[in-house]
Amino acid sequence: MIESLLVANRGEIARRIIRTARRLGVRAIAVHSEADADLPFVAEADEAVCVGPANPAQSYRNTEAIIAAARSTDAQAIHPGYGFLSENADFARTVEASGLIWVGPGADAISAMGDKINARNLMAAAGVPVAAGTTEPSADLAAAVAAAAEIGYPVMVKAAAGGGGMGMGVAVDEAALRTEYDKVRAFAERMFGDGSVLLERYFPRVRHVEVQILGLADGRVLALGERECSVQRRNQKLVEESPSPAVTPELRTRLLAAAVRAGEAVGYRNAGTVECLLVPRQRDVEGDGSGADEFFFLEMNTRLQVEHPVTELVHGIDLVEEQLRVAAGLPPTFDPDALTVRGHAIELRVNAEDPKRFLPGPGTIRTWVEPTGEGVRVDSGYAEGNTVTPFYDSLMAKLIVHGEDRTEALARARAAVAAFDLSGPKHNLPFFTDLLENQEFLSGDYDTGIVSRLR
């Protein structure tokens, strides 16, 4: 097993990785910005190094500073968490060129999946369903207009180098496309340094379902069930659950098999996620039936996902431990041929944001009392007295519950939300109170438009 691990991240995910590392007897090293010096993950690490000021470009995205911290602390490996440098192929290569172990997929897999057009083409070649769309970047607006006419409106306009719900727009006709194309291209150039744009067929009513994959050290790729991620605001997830209420056994077989093919197509190792759109049958649109049985590849996230705890709870495994074992060339802790799903898990992302408009609301935490009890888990990045700053993502904690079935999980979620005593920053716990009483959500028959219907 790896003996020392530097965690190149912050907040709840750094704290969560450190927890597993220490349980395994692995020396855990934190890096932090000046703004994060007082957060729990820094105190809980065996060693901590300040890598720069609050600006992420000067700290958490500062490759030179992070590699220097690894060398100065004799770290053996680097875990990138999610966000920041986690899907940066150049960083992965730099880590390995420095003689360190990279806890993640190979740089080639990261590169292959980082370009959304290339990823679509690879998946189509591997037999993974993809929606109608462009197979190369639109050279200019005229090319985009021609492509949209062939695909058929409405179309999704996406940044080819984007991900995580960023750099997207919907065009219902040519006039809207002209506006969205320029907007997405400008955003992509500013955020990703690549203004390439792709077009895909847009489905007004869909569910967002993803599959957790794990590429083992021996070359096998496993699919560890699916997660429902359709409760979103501005294409950003708020709630995840596993298993998905929409996925039938027959659909699950096809969905997981496609995810395995996706991983195998790029020689995937370590943890990753294949994200898909579930599209209702045509007769559902006409009101003659229910459920969804068609799916299309959306993207592959070449890292550990924010929502990985729901998969852990229903499978009884620790995905961070499995990541470390793969990176060390070791077999998994479980029998891949005997994996079973037990019960139902739900994750609620507790953010420092207004619960109605979802605008950031940073501030100092006056009260922080986490809920406890059977089937309740809280992965938090903050504690009472800490300040949620405007420099980073608004995620403060993940409230995760597990029950023997979805009904029990929902009941535990309601009780846990009510018991979470939080004051200081604005927060979205009131939103979850409303959602967990909403009949559409409780029925399990919801889609990505549910948040807009709640507001």
Q: For 42-54, give the DSSP string.
A: HHHSSEEEEEE-S
Q: If 0-12 CB within 10 Å is exposed, 13-18 middle and 19+ buried, where does residue 192 land? A: middle
Of 303, 349, 377, 412, which is the active-site residue? 303
Report CA-CA distances (Å) from 80 to 10, 14, 15, 184.
10, 9, 12, 27
- At residue 302, φ and ψ (nearest 5 deg) are -90, 60
Half-sphere exposure of 118 (CA within 13 A, CB side): 13
Q: Is 303 a catalytic residue?
A: yes
Q: Which residues, including other chains, have CB under 8 Å from residue 176's CB and lie 6 or more apart?
A: 170
Q: Where would I find the H helices in 164-230?
A: 174-192
CA distance 422 to 340: 36
Q: Rounded to whole angstroms, how far apart are CA atoms 263 and 300?
A: 9
In whole angstroms, what is the distance from residue 282 CA to residue 303 CA?
A: 34
Q: Within the chain, what is the greatest distance between any pair of CA atoms?
A: 64
Q: Are 69 and 49 in contact (CB under 8 A)?
A: yes
Q: Are 118 and 112 in contact (CB under 8 A)?
A: yes
For 68, counting Cβ atoms within 10 Å of its Cβ (0-12 exposed, 13-18 middle, 19+ buried), the class is middle
- What positions carry a catalytic annotation? 303
